[in-house]
């Protein structure tokens, strides 16, 4: 029942937190978030039921904590795109990154997790956009953020859901066309 061999105990609390995150991630690959119970996660993490609540007030808090890191990495690649005149390489990099971590992102974007994720995503994006030098822009900032995040998530979600996923290049093209270009200044598309 217990782990009788732990030689270097490594601050149990830290171990528990990591185990819970890892367990949630694993479980999410097979089960929707709303089907998971705190007990499920605790057991999968090899952690006592009550211990779960010592670290997180509830399931969503764990998910949010889990997502924070990945979102953070991704956002530092996503947001700059919106302020760049030459976004191709960045978009490409974003998609490549998602692809290389597709196990994680599949888990995060399917099931009921997407809702929590989007909110955290927007929260972080808004923080970032607040400190950015505000480029002259013809869209309300909060709309730009909400739209970009929702659209990007939807596109990636669609991508990872597909039975035969498209190559990274193609997705980068869609992303640029559907998210980046439309939110850039009008000048970027001198259609008339």
The yes or no reply on residue 189 touching DNA (CB under 7 A) is no
Q: Name which of its own copies, DNA, none residue 91 binds, using a CB cut-off of 5 to 8 Å depending on partner kind.
A: none
Minimal distance, residue 151 CB to DNA, in Å: 31
Helix-strand-coil split of the chain, %, nearest 5: 70, 0, 30
Sign of torsion over alpha carbons 11, 48, 57, 109: positive
Phi/psi of residue 61, nearest 5 degrees: -65, -40
Q: Give the E-state strand segments of the chain in sequence order.
A: none
Residue of the chain from 22, 32, 53, 73 that contacts DNA (CB under 7 A) = 53
The yes or no reply on residue 174 touching its own copies (CB under 8 A) is yes
Minimal distance, residue 174 CB to its own copies, in Å: 7
- Please, are residues 176 and 155 in contact by the beta-carbon 8 Å criterion? no
Q: Report how far residue 146's alpha carbon sits from residue 152's, in angstroms, rounded to the nearest whole number.
A: 10
| SS3 assignment, position 142 | helix
Q: Report how far residue 16's alpha carbon sits from residue 133's, in angstroms, rounded to the nearest whole number.
A: 40
Q: Name which of DNA, its own copies, none residue 1 binds, using a CB cut-off of 5 to 8 Å depending on partner kind.
A: DNA
The yes or no reply on residue 112 touching its own copies (CB under 8 A) is yes
Q: Name which of DNA, its own copies, none residue 182 binds, using a CB cut-off of 5 to 8 Å depending on partner kind.
A: its own copies
The yes or no reply on residue 30 touching DNA (CB under 7 A) is no
Minimal distance, residue 172 CB to DNA, in Å: 38
Question: Binding residues for DNA, per CB under 7 A?
Answer: 1-4, 6, 9-16, 36-39, 46-51, 53-55, 57-59
């Amino acid at each position: 029942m217990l782990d009788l061999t732990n030689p270097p105990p490594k601050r149990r609390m830290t171990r528990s937190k990591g185990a819970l995150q890892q367990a949630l991630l694993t479980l999410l690959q097979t089960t929707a978030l709303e089907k998971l119970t705190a007990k499920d996660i605790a057991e999968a993490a090899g952690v006592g039921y009550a211990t779960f609540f010592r670290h997180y007030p509830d399931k969503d808090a764990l998910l949010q904590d889990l997502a924070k890191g990945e979102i953070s990495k991704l956002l530092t690649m996503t947001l700059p795109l919106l302020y760049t005149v030459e976004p191709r390489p960045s978009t490409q990099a974003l998609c490549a990154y998602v692809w290389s971590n597709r196990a994680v992102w599949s888990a995060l974007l399917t099931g009921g997790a997407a809702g929590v994720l989007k909110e955290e995503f927007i929260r972080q994006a808004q923080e970032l956009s607040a400190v950015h030098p505000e480029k002259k822009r013809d869209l309300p900032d909060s709309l730009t953020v909400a739209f970009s995040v929702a659209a990007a998530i939807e596109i990636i979600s669609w991508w990872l859901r597909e039975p035969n996923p498209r190559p990274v290049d193609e997705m980068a093209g869609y992303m640029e066309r559907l998210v980046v270009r439309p939110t850039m200044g009008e000048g970027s598309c001198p259609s008339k």
